């Protein structure tokens, strides 16, 4: 081998090393950025809590039995405890980055454990719980204690009072339960629409369609649709599916059904092309053996070819789910951007990706919560990836 040839080979190999290094660094930076910014808010409560706070107005009826519990040793220096009321507050930030006062401890004999719900007096076992956010304590004979003065001031004012006129508190809020449920709804309904149509179209194109100009044109159109920006599909969803669902369902505007149908159309090219490639790699020897044993073309396709292509079809399904989870532009038109806690397939809502868009479009942007949602999306995709790999391995073993 000549020296010139050796230098050219080294140059080519160096290009592959540099390119792969850049790819690894770029992808690693994404992971590092979202985990670094979002890991602090990542907890189980974030996944199961509502995004919007629930407000409670309460007072105490009848004689008050004050707490006799002393401050527990577990309280930190920035936590302020009222011996009389058996409750501790701290200055902190909520998931939206706003300064709030949070309840960090409440004694078992605290009078705050048994309050009167002024909005719904029939509520039983109503009281403040650890994690609630206190927004105001209103007194009869002096000014209200507000969060702007801090937890220490609020505790001192409460400690110096025999009673209060009203205490206002909220749930923590900032959770993404509604967005997770919306995402799962959209995944299920989109796949319900796109998978059967996409798979059967791919089977037709690869197994039954004649090899002529019309088939090639159809295949080319599918490939073109793969590269069309999703926002254009969103416009189609707004123009077609939203009016259609408004007319035939109880929906009054963009809704989960119209969003799922829009995503279903977006997914069709991905599923068709991936499934067709999976069918192509099935050896012709299997088809010929099946035909030689007396099976017809249709039986061979659905009983021999299709089962052997299932691992590839599962991969196509995974790609489709990843596209659904990451899609935002089309859904802004077809579903809307309203962050909801009560989910209905006939109403507006947000998926996790649109929730990120909504947080980043606020002023100021909530980068921390957006990064936390990004971490959740990455974990969901990782779990789905591993699940599909395991299922694919089982199918490979079964048909090998």
CB 345, CB 261: distance < 8 Å? no
pLDDT band, very low/low/confident/very high, at 336 (cuts 50, 70, 90): confident
Structure tokens at 383: 């779990």
> Which pLDDT does position 90 carry in this prediction?
94
Percentage of the chain modeled with pLDDT above 70: 98
3-state secondary structure of 133: strand
pLDDT band, very low/low/confident/very high, at 327 (cuts 50, 70, 90): confident
CB atoms within 10 A of CB 149: 14
Predicted TM-score of the model (pTM):
0.81
pLDDT band, very low/low/confident/very high, at 367 (cuts 50, 70, 90): confident
Is pLDDT at 398 greater than 70 in this prediction?
no
> Which pLDDT does position 400 carry in this prediction?
61
Residue 27 falls in which region: left (phi positive, over 0), alpha (psi -120 to 50) or beta: alpha
Which of 81, 133, 66 lies closest to 103 in space, CA to CA? 133
> Can you tell me the distance from the alpha carbon of 88 to that of 171, in angstroms, rounded to the nearest whole number?
16
Is pLDDT at 364 greater than 80 in this prediction?
no
* Range of lowest pLDDT (10-19, 153-162, 220-229): 220-229
Convert the pLDDT of each residue in 287-299 to its tens digit: 899 889 888 889 9
- Quote the crossing angle between the two packed helices 352-361 and 310-326, to the nearest 10°: 20
pLDDT mean over 114-137: 88
> Which pLDDT does position 399 carry in this prediction?
60
> Can you tell me the distance from the alpha carbon of 286 to that of 236, in angstroms, rounded to the nearest whole number?
42
Give the DSSP per-residue string, 169-220: EE------HHHHHHHHHHHHHHHHHHHHHHHHHHHIIIIIS-SSHHHHHHHH
Convert the pLDDT of each residue in 59-81 to its tens digit: 988 888 899 998 888 888 889 99
> Which pLDDT does position 156 carry in this prediction?
92
> Which pLDDT does position 94 carry in this prediction?
82
Convert the pLDDT of each residue in 130-176 to its tens digit: 989 999 999 988 888 888 889 999 999 988 888 889 999 998 888 88
Is pLDDT at 388 greater than 80 in this prediction?
no
> Can you tell me the distance from the alpha carbon of 203 to that of 306, in angstroms, rounded to the nearest whole number?
8
Whole-number average pLDDT of the chain: 88
pLDDT mean over 255-259: 92
> Which pLDDT does position 37 carry in this prediction?
86
Is pLDDT at 186 greater than 80 in this prediction?
yes
> Which pLDDT does position 1 carry in this prediction?
66
């Amino acid at each position: 081998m000549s020296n010139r040839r050796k230098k050219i080979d080294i140059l080519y190999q160096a290009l592959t090393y540099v390119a792969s290094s850049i790819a690894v660094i770029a992808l690693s930076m994404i992971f590092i950025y979202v985990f670094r910014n979002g890991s602090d808010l990542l907890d189980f409560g974030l996944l199961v809590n509502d995004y919007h706070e629930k407000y409670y107005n309460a007072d105490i009826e009848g004689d008050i039995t004050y707490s006799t519990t002393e401050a527990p040793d577990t309280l930190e220096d920035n936590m302020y405890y009222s011996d009389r009321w058996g409750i501790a507050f701290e200055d902190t930030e909520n998931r939206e980055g706003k300064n709030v006062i949070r309840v960090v401890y409440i004694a078992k004999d605290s009078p705050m454990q048994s309050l009167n719900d002024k909005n719904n007096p029939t509520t039983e076992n109503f009281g403040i719980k650890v994690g609630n956010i206190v927004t105001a304590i209103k007194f009869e004979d002096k000014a209200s204690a507000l969060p702007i003065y801090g937890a220490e001031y609020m505790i001192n004012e409460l400690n110096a009072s025999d009673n209060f006129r009203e205490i206002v508190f909220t749930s923590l809020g900032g959770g993404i339960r509604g967005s997770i449920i919306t995402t799962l709804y959209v995944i299920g309904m989109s796949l319900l629409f796109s998978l059967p149509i996409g798979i059967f179209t791919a089977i037709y194109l690869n197994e039954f369609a004649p090899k002529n100009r019309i088939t090639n044109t159809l295949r080319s159109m599918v490939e073109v649709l793969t590269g069309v920006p999703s926002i254009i599909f969103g416009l189609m969803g707004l123009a077609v599916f939203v009016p259609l669902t408004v007319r035939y369902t109880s929906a009054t505007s963009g809704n989960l059904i119209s969003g799922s149908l829009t995503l279903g159309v977006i997914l069709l090219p991905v599923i068709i092309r991936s499934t067709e490639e999976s069918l192509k790699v099935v050896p012709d020897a299997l088809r010929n053996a099946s035909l030689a044993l007396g099976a017809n073309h249709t039986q061979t396709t659905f009983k021999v070819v299709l089962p052997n292509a299932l691992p590839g079809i599962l991969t196509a399904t995974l790609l489709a789910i990843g596209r659904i989870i990451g899609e935002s532009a089309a859904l802004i038109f077809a579903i809307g951007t309203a962050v909801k806690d009560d989910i209905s397939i006939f109403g507006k809502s947000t998926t996790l990706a649109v929730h990120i868009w909504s947080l980043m479009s606020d002023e100021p942007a909530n980068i921390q919560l957006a990064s936390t949602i990004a971490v959740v999306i990455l974990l969901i995709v990782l779990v789905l990836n591993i699940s599909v790999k395991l299922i694919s391995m089982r199918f490979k073993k079964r048909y090998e």
